Amino acid sequence: MPGGPASHSITVKASDPAGLFATTTFTINVVGPTYATWRAEVFNASQASLPAFSGMSADPDRDGVPNLLEYTFDLDPLVPNPAGLPVASVVDVGGADYLAVAYTRSKFASDLTYAVESSGDLNTWTSATPVVVSVTDHGDTETVLVRDSVATGGDARRFLRVRMTVTS
């Protein structure tokens, strides 16, 4: 979907040989892909008709990654590929180490929102204001590398996670 979702107005004017005419304007809304459209594209009709195969919690390639996460992180649900999941790392900024996470996301999915959250104990998560280190464009997707705003070190424990929400 080059250019992403958008609305376009189109005006049509028709006339006859007697000079009578009619004009109408309509709007076409181009929306981004959704889980439903993704499912229809990646599964054949037989597979798509089986929720146990194409449902959000199904894992047809048995790689431990349910279809919803395959969709979220632009993976192929028919090929085992957990290597495409978010990857944690440590980045050095001015001599201080920060926990970081890289993940791939759709630039146009109309039913997903992504949030990076941080925690010091794995119980209480806060919507971090992550520091974006880099964004690499891949056409319809992009890989985002973000780091925590709190440096690691000493006895401080830090955790990051990518949380996505399906909005429709």
- What's the pLDDT at 5? 58
- What's the pLDDT at 1? 45
- What's the pLDDT at 84? 86
- What's the pLDDT at 12? 85
Extents of the domains making up the chain: 6-82, 86-166
Q: How far apart are CA 140 and CA 30, in angstroms?
A: 15
- What's the pLDDT at 54? 97
Please give the structure tokens belonging to residue 31.
């929306």
Q: How far apart are CA 84 and CA 162, in angstroms?
A: 13
Q: What is the pTM of this model?
A: 0.77
Q: Which CATH class is domain 86-166?
A: mainly beta
The H or E element containing residue 41 is helix 35-42
Chain centroid to CA 149: 23
pLDDT in tens, the chain (168 residues): 455 556 677 888 888 888 888 888 877 766 678 999 999 999 999 999 999 999 999 999 999 999 999 999 999 999 998 788 999 999 999 999 999 999 999 998 989 999 999 998 999 999 867 789 999 999 989 999 999 988 888 777 889 999 999 986
